Amino acid sequence: MSILDSKIPKGPLKDKWTNHKNNINLVSPANKRNIDIIVVGTGLAGASASASLAEMGYNVKAFCYQDSPRRAHSIAAQGGINAAKNYQNDGDSIYRLFYDTVKGGDYRSREANVHRLAEVSGNIIDQCVAQGVPFGREYGGLLDNRSFGGVLVSRTFYAKGQTGQQLLLGAYSAMNRQIGKGKIQMFNRHEMVELVKVNGKARGIIARNLETGKLERHGAHAVVIASGGYGNVFFLSTNAMGSNVTAAWKIHKKGAYFANPCYTQIHPTCIPRSGEHQSKLTLMSESLRNDGRIWVPKKIEDAKLIRQGKLKPTEISEENRDYYLERRYPAFGNLVPRDIASRAAKEICDAGFGVNQTGEAVYLDFTSAIKRYGKQEAAIQRLENPSESKIIELGEVIVESKYGNLFQMYEKIVAQNPYKSPMMIYPAVHYTMGGVWVDYNLMTSVEGCYCIGEANFSDHGANRLGASALMQGLADGYFVLPYTIGDYLSNEIRTGKISTDTSEFEDAEKSVADRIRKLINIQGTKSVDHFHKLLGQVMWEYVGMTRNEKGLKIAMKKIKEIRDEFWKDLRIPGDQFSLNSELDKAGRVADFLELGELFAKDALSRNESCGGHFREESVELDGAQKGEAKRNDKDYAYVTAWEYKGEPENSKMHKEELEFNDIELKQRSYK
């Protein structure tokens, strides 16, 4: 058996999950009452898992760093969630969702996992509706759908531009029901800072109470990490300010392999940065690309005038606009996958066509959509010969009903009315496909330690399709983990309560306390943010949208230098036994400073372009796909899983070869 046993069940792809579920060992209800599970994180993945596990009868302890589980970063997801319901009768099916996801991921994900995801996707929608999630509906009372990038069907369910909020509040309500019953013990404002292993098995965690600074020991029969993605390694991203890699990194250091850290999604439609003070970037949902058209001026002189504020976008005539996505990718147009749309924006801005002061922005224009909807609406209302202004008025109402809150959000930030003047957008770091390596059961390489949601690596390969993260988070939490964990726990029914009065817990607690003391005692001169920003600049410059060997080597060296400086010159005012946000941040940035180096090392090791990972050395040199990313299946059709060996640069690579039996590997084409 190779070190990386993915435990993919035998048999035909479409029967694997059903057969596996039928063969999983079960834990009797009486025994479940004696088994404790720790869930770190209350986003879609963690909240749905906590609720489902508690409903099944396990005792759950759930942790989040915010003051309430409802505030997990999933709350910010805007556009929607995919499911193969085929309500629109447009040819969708489980197979098609599976196929789109594997293709969208540029053939770097596990077939069996993705198929399972597609299989349970429909149940997610049923479950959410039953909980009272108010999805968008049509006038007939049935659920409405929209399309997202990289696919040709409408399978995305949504609740205005607040889908993540509504789904999370649904999962949160399911959690609340169990908290009320005492089946879930909730620990708000608590951060998991260490994994405790006993005889090789995950048996608990050390958590820090962020209000009092006290360290706490928590024992359990299994530990589930659902701590989200690590996009904040770039400092600026669309992630919440507190999103971090700490929980995932702690288990990595305790033996969980970290897979494909370099697979990052840079989202094409975000509000461009405005200045030095910038603390985060705001996403404008991909759903906007359903109706918005992306363009830059055709003439470079016009772009210059716009940047100088001497010309307005509305003054540029149709024939002088370059709808470059529609031009380059006629089949998918504005709905090409994210990695492609982002690189195209970077290329066109690098060529001098950018439209804001920094030269890093393109337009997203709703004029055509407003007119189209206006005409439709005029017809529905039986208006004869409606005036142009009436059509626009009617169209704006429809656009508002679809994207109102996004337009409002844009206007609040940029102080411009996007109904009247096109939005400006630019790519930003958004999501991390890489993460903790897990097998088919979602168990990491540490026995009894699981990882779900964005924190794991499993389903999106090298690029995630829009509206698939919410689907994966809820699939993992509601429908996969609650079953697969039973297989492991069925062997734990005789273990008895996990005591925290052991040397393992004591040692773990001590190492955490030492590290905190060390951080506080540096007493240097620079703030945590200072180092975080430096790290972010290096990541964005050398490990961002395009990467090359030379740059990646520089990045590794620089990150190590920043890390050394951090441990010499950091200043954390305040003390450790009270609420101290600087200390919280310092712990997280210390982990980012290690992850960043591994990230660059991983990117260096993969000398091919695939999905969000674009190596300048690997592009198509001629033919119809000239200039597009070139994948190399012969040498790189594997998952890279890194084993921790002290310094990140010494990490050891393991490979999980990917087998494609049901899908033929093809060059991705959206032309």
Ligand X SMILES: Cc1cc2nc3c(=O)[nH]c(=O)nc-3n(C[C@H](O)[C@H](O)[C@H](O)COP(=O)(O)OP(=O)(O)OC[C@H]3O[C@@H](n4cnc5c(N)ncnc54)[C@H](O)[C@@H]3O)c2cc1C
Subset of 272-311 contacting ligand X (CB under 6 A): 283, 285
The contact pattern for ligand X, residues 243-272, with x = CB under 6 A and - = no contact, is: xx-xx-------------------------
Residues in 185-214 that interact with ligand X by CB under 6 A = 191-192
Beta bridge partners of 641: 259, 654
Does 164 sit near ligand X (CB under 6 A)? yes
Relative to beta strand 638-643, strand 652-657 is antiparallel
486 is a contact residue toward ligand X (CB under 6 A): no
Token pair 């066509």 is found at 353
Closer to another protein by CB, 386 or 524: give it. Answer: 524
Site for ligand X contains 76 (CB under 6 A): yes
Q: Tokens 């689907």 correspond to what residue?
A: 471
65 near ligand X (CB under 6 A): yes
Q: Which does 174 bind (CB under 5 to 8 A by kind): ligand X, another protein, none?
A: another protein
Select from another protein, ligand X, none the partner in contact with residue 658, using the beta carbon and a kind-dependent cut-off of 5 to 8 Å: none
CA nearest neighbour of 356 among 290, 428, 422: 422
Q: Minimal CA–CA distance to 610: which of 430, 232, 340? A: 340
- What residues does 451 pair with on adjacent strands? 225
User: Site for ligand X (CB under 6 A): which residue of 4, 35, 64, 436?
Assistant: 64
Among ligand X, another protein, none, partner that 290 touches (CB below 5 to 8 angstroms by kind): none
Order of strands across the sheet that contains 435-436: 435-436, 258-259, 638-643, 652-657
Interacting partner of 43 out of ligand X, another protein, none (Cβ under 5 to 8 A depending on kind): ligand X
- Interface region with ligand X, contact rule CB under 6 A, candidates 68-76, 175-183, 296-304, 395-403: 68-76
Q: Which residues have CB under 8 Å from 150's CB, separation 6+?
A: 100, 103, 104, 332, 335, 336, 337, 338, 465, 466, 670
- 508 near ligand X (CB under 6 A): no
Residues 120, 479: contact at Cβ < 8 Å? yes
Minimum CB separation from ligand X for residue 400, in Å? 19
Residue nearest to ligand X (CB): 43
Query: With CB cut-offs between 5 and 8 Å by kind, which of ligand X, another protein, none does residue 17 bind?
Result: none
Shorter beta-carbon distance to ligand X: residue 469 or 543: 469
Identified binder of ligand X from the candidate list 467, 475, 498, 535, rule CB under 6 A: 467
Chain-centre distance of CA 522, in angstroms? Answer: 34
| CA-closest candidate to residue 13, choices 565, 662, 469, 668 | 662
Task: Assess 473 for contact with ligand X (CB under 6 A).
Answer: yes
Residue number, 441 or 458, with CB nearest to ligand X:
458
**Long-range contacts, 326-333 (Cβ 8 Å, 24+):** 326/293, 328/671, 329/670, 329/671, 330/671, 331/669, 331/670, 331/671, 332/149, 332/150, 332/152, 332/670
State which residue, 495 or 525, has the beta carbon closest to another protein: 525
Measured from the CB of residue 477, what is the shortest distance to another protein in angstroms? 9
Stretch that binds ligand X, among 77-85, 95-103, 116-124, 344-352 (CB under 6 A): 77-85
Backbone CA torsion sign across 503, 505, 508, 511: negative
Partner from another protein, ligand X, none contacting 63, C-beta within 5 to 8 A by type: ligand X
Q: CB-based contacts of 626: which residues, under 8 Å, 6+ apart?
A: 620
Report DSSP state, residue 9: P
Binding residue (CB under 6 A) for ligand X from 45, 120, 336, 378: 45
- Cβ-contact 144, 136 below 8 angstroms: yes
DSSP letter string, 477-524: IIIIHHHHHHHHHTT-TTT-PPPS-SHHHHHHHHHHHHHHHHHHHT--
- Torsions phi, psi of 134, nearest 5? -85, 80
Nearer to another protein, 171 or 610 (CB): 171
Local structure of residue 544 (DSSP, 8 states) = S
3-state secondary structure of 201: strand
Q: What distance lies between CA 453 and its chain's CA centroid?
A: 8
Tally of CB atoms within 10 A around 483: 17
| Nearest 10 degrees: Cα torsion 357, 363, 364, 366 | 110
Q: If binding is defined by CB under 6 A, does position 431 make contact with ligand X?
A: yes
Whichever of 51 and 658 has its CB closer to another protein, that residue is 51
* Residue 80 near ligand X by CB under 6 A: yes
**Do the Cβ atoms of 569 and 593 come closer than 8 Å?**
no
Does the protein bind ligand X through residue 215 (CB under 6 A)?
no
Closer to ligand X by CB, 250 or 601: give it. 250
Q: Is the separation of the CB atoms in 150 and 611 below 8 Å?
A: no
User: 121, 471 in Cβ contact below 8 A?
Assistant: yes
Query: How far apart, in whole angstroms, are the C-alpha atoms of residue 665 and residue 658?
Result: 11
Binding ligand X (rule: CB under 6 A), the pick from 113, 154, 165, 239 is 239
Applying CB under 6 A, the site for ligand X has a residue count of: 46
Site for ligand X in 97-136 (CB under 6 A): none
Task: Tell the smallest beta-carbon distance from residue 167 to ligand X (Å).
Answer: 8
Least CB distance from residue 182 to another protein, whole Å? 10
Alpha carbons within 13 A on the beta-carbon side of 421:
16
467 binds, among another protein, ligand X, none (CB under 5 to 8 A by kind): ligand X
Nearer to another protein, 91 or 180 (CB): 180
Considering CB distances under 5 to 8 angstroms, the limit depending on partner class, which of ligand X, another protein, none binds residue 81? ligand X
Q: Which helix (H) or strand (E) holds 185?
A: strand 184-187
Closer to another protein at the Cβ: 338 or 585? 585
> Which of residues 38, 54, 72, 174 is near ligand X by CB under 6 A?
72
Does 175 bind ligand X (CB under 6 A)? Our answer is: no
| Least Å from the CB of residue 126 to another protein | 5
Residues 306-335 close enough to bind ligand X by CB under 6 A: none
Phi, psi of 160 (to 5 degrees): 45, -135
Shortest distance, position 416 Cβ to another protein, whole Å? 12
- Residue 310, contacted partner among ligand X, another protein, none, CB below 5-8 A by kind: none
**Contact footprint for ligand X (CB under 6 A):** 40-46, 63-66, 72-74, 76-81, 163-164, 191-192, 226-229, 238-239, 243-244, 246-247, 283, 285, 430-431, 453-455, 467-470, 473
